[in-house]
Amino acid sequence: MTQRLSPGDRAPDFSLTDADGNLVELEKERGSKVVVYFYPAAATPGCTTQACDFRDNLAGLSAAGYKIFGVSPDPQDKLKAFVDQEHLTFPLLSDEDHAVADAWGAWGEKNNYGKTSEGLIRSTVVLDEDGVVSLAQYNVKATGHVAKLRRDLGVD
């Protein structure tokens, strides 16, 4: 199991491709508060619920100064189809080799319906303007997570 991030840790930088093929480099987001959420698979019920919740709450989070990035091990073409189908308005990033998920503690052993496997652990990490972790949540539930995150961040 990789080490999970905790408040006060400096988040590992990454360079990942978004659904449109654009390179997104975390270090270029310095000066902004950033929410990075990890989800197992595009277009599955739980991941769709979570992505649509972020989409529907994007205005409030953006007004509070947060940028949102979703990260999954899906290839770029699957992300593009998901973005188009659900009209998502924030970047989804492809981490096919799960190197970023590993570095951020979002890849490891998980228990799903009583079965233990290795894979992506649904997680959300919030960074301050300096790239330092201000909030790290692992094994989050898809349903209701964004509402809880808004409460935790004090975003009305």
Q: Rounded distance, CA 61 to CA 145, Å?
A: 14
- List the catalytic residue out of 26, 34, 47, 92: 47
Q: Of 50, 31, 51, nearest to 92 (Cα)? A: 51
Identify which of 67, 10, 1, 60 has the alpha carbon closest to the alpha carbon of residue 33.
Answer: 67
Catalytic site includes residue 47:
yes
In contact, 17 and 76? CB cutoff 8 Å: yes
Residues with catalytic annotation?
47
